[in-house]
Structure 1
Amino acid sequence: MRIGFIGLGIMGYSMASNLLKAGYELTVYNRTIEKAEKLGKSGAKVAYSPKEVAENSEVVISMVTDAPDVEDVLFSEKGVVKSGKKGLIFIDMSTNSPEFAKKTAKKLSEYGIEFLDAPVTGGDKGAREGTLTIMVGGKENIFRQVEPIFQAMGKNIIYVGEIGSGQALKLCNQVVVSLDMVAVIESLMLARSLGIDDEKLFSVLSTGAGNSFTVQYYLPKIMKGDLEPGFKAAHLKKDLKYALDTGTSASLPLPGTSLALQLYNSMVSLGMGEKGTQGLIKVYEKLIKT
């Protein structure tokens, strides 16, 4: 299958690279064209619009920031639908709401384009190593057609069910991710206030019942003061808003999610939205000084 890939950010660039390594014929587009040209040197065809990507592809993948970006990729004057042939499969691997996925699928069906929502988790590390967990919603027969494509980017591929169910499961994941970060940072702040060495805290958390991906991957970064993004705080804030809105529509109380969202709102308001989610420690440090 000829694949198009739109969105070469922290995650997307590595995911597209893994498709190239797997031997797929790949066409790439990114608003910052230099990133696409860099992949062009590795064998990808560089496109200068989503429309051009669709012209050269049987499957088009988007890995962009938010719902408005997906809509622009699809329905703008130079969007995918302007040249996408009937039977094209469009896969949105960014994180949006289940309702947005359903609305997008319905709209694309009018053009004869199939749709899968397939958000991922695993951060920049998982994207680089091809070990992402991928959650897929949509028609199962369409999923089976493109399953080898997912396997080139991820290790744990989960077909969830109908359109929007991939996004729904991803939002559940983000609730845990956000609250785990809150727990790790509060534990670190408490340990430091009690004079406990950072390394001793890490030794206990990483080998005991408190162990998690956040402990293993992000706690060492926090300890070193490394706030560069594996996943941007502004993106997690967006995901938590979707999760809270989805819970609210079902009259479901999510007090922990609400707390995490307010903390990440604070981080973004401090001008740190482009930093990694572990930068939340700066919010706590500011609270201490207040």
Structure 2
Amino acid sequence: MGAAMASHLLSAGYSLIIYARSPSKASSLLSQGAHLAHSPHQLARQSDVVFTMVGNPQDVNQIVLQPNGILSTLNPGAVIVDHTSSSPSLARQIYASAREKGWIGIGVMGAAMASHLLSAGYSLIIYARSPSKASSLLSQGAHLAHSPHQLARQSDVVFTMVGNPQDVNQIVLQPNGILSTLNPGAVIVDHTSSSPSLARQIYASAREKGCWSVDAPVSGGDIGAREGKLAIFAGGERPVVEWLTPLLDLMGRVTYMGEAGCGQSCKIGNQIMVGANLIGLSEGFVFAEKAGLELSKYMEAIRGGGAGSMAMELFGRRMIERDFKPGAFVEYLVKDLGMGVDVVKEEEDERVLVLPGAALCKQLFSSMVANGDGKLGIQGLITVVERINGK
């Protein structure tokens, strides 16, 4: 089939470069004037349209999506036309992969998350207010944009992972932000822990431009980001989230939570529980040490029982070893807890009445910020409990 179809292009006078795993099969097309490439990515580098007609979906995946496949060297604006009888899901994955992805925010979490897209072979353009932080991603093949609106113009999906809702508003909604140049049909995926109301505002603004948005905050800290094991809470249109799933799966496990804003509501609830767990972990360690227990042995003894938790697995050893390097900054957790505590004042959710535990969590973590430790990791909460107890 493929040889006969290709011969019509040659007969019509088109210049054609071909690739065949068995070059001996190419003799007829070569006699018509075709040129032989040594690999799919060499062929892609020289073509504005690449036609594929191979055996099965596995062959398509290998030739198009794998590290040495067509997409690794396809030029911007070029087109892949797959004539293979393949699967709809693979066709959607190829479509999603063929366009450049944009990433804004390359801090501790963002850089690790973005690196998974590059490792999977996606073309990525990044923006950073401090370009010096981009060196690692640039060494993996990312391209640097000079502004958010330049990045948006070149991307079909734009991921954001910035500090707070004010940053999100500035980068997305302001005159020189993402939405000013985002192409119709493109998607904004905001991984920032932000507010449900802002997520809904972005969604409404995106739809007015014929675009889409998904709020997709994450949990799992720097370890989860590096290992691609984050919990991702997605809010928006279900079909859009499903279309994004091949990308999000590279970073962790995505759960669809509902309409726009629901991802952010889930993250606020998550942070309230994380904060409460860290208070218990900190107070348990301080009590055990005061009681004369060896902390490593204490943690091993209780981790398999009812006190065991993800918070203990992520932060217990760091607390014991006094490792307060940030995977998640204290000041950001204070911001997240504040959104939970203040939600009643903002009338965002009339079902939430009183959250005394969240208020206490915010107070204790705010003490870290007041002590000048806002840039430490959230496991540093133990220092507040120690200070209260005279250590």
Task: Flag whether TM exceeds 0.5 (same fold).
Answer: yes
The answer to whether residue 190 in structure 2 is matched with residue 92 in structure 1 is yes
Matches within 5 A, 1:181-196: 181-196=278-293
Give the residue type in structure 2 aligned to 1:69.
D
- 2:364 equivalent in structure 1: 263
Q: Partners in 1 of 2:353 and 2:220 — Cα distance?
A: 27
Matches within 5 A, 1:64-103: 64-103=162-201
Q: 1:180 to 1:115 in 2, by over 3 A?
A: same
Q: Partners in 2 of 1:3 and 1:205 — Cα distance?
A: 44
SS at match of 2:182: coil
Instruction: Identify unmatched segments of 5+ residues in structure 1.
Output: none
Determine which structure has more spread, i.e. the larger CA radius of gyration. Answer: 2
Q: Partners in 2 of 1:198 and 1:38 — Cα distance?
A: 37
Q: Does the 8 Å contact 2:173/2:202 carry over to 1?
A: no
Q: Give the structure-2-normalised TM-score.
A: 0.72
- 2:50 equivalent in structure 1: none
Instruction: Identify unmatched segments of 5+ residues in structure 2.
Output: 1-95
Q: In structure 2, which of residues 147, 157, 160 is the aligned counterpart of residue 62 of structure 1?
A: 160
Q: Give the structure-1-normalised TM-score.
A: 0.96
The answer to whether residue 342 in structure 2 is matched with residue 245 in structure 1 is yes
Q: Does the 8 Å contact 1:14/1:128 carry over to 2?
A: yes
- 2:386 equivalent in structure 1: 285
Q: Partners in 2 of 1:243 and 1:128 — Cα distance?
A: 27
Q: In structure 1, which of residues 209, 213, 221 is the aligned counterpart of residue 318 of structure 2?
A: 221
Matches within 5 A, 1:116-127: 116-127=214-225
Residues 86-114 of structure 1: per-residue CA shift (max 9 Å, x gap): 11101111111111111221122222221
Q: Partners in 2 of 1:254 and 1:76 — Cα distance?
A: 33
Q: In structure 2, which of residues 283, 297, 304 is the aligned counterpart of residue 207 of structure 1?
A: 304
- 1:217 deviates by 2.0
Between 1:37-46 and 1:76-85, the stretch displaced more is 76-85
Across the two proteins, how many residue pairs are aligned to each other?
289
Residues 18-53 of structure 1: per-residue CA shift (max 9 Å, x gap): 010111111111111112233112111111111111
Q: Partners in 2 of 1:133 and 1:247 — Cα distance?
A: 26
Q: Partners in 1 of 2:167 and 2:210 — Cα distance?
A: 21
Between 1:64-73 and 1:108-117, the stretch displaced more is 108-117
Identity %: 36
- 1:125 deviates by 0.4
Q: CA RMSD in A?
A: 1.4
SS at match of 1:235: helix
Higher relative contact order (CA 8 A, sep 6+): 1
- 2:141 equivalent in structure 1: 43
Q: Partners in 2 of 1:105 and 1:230 — Cα distance?
A: 29
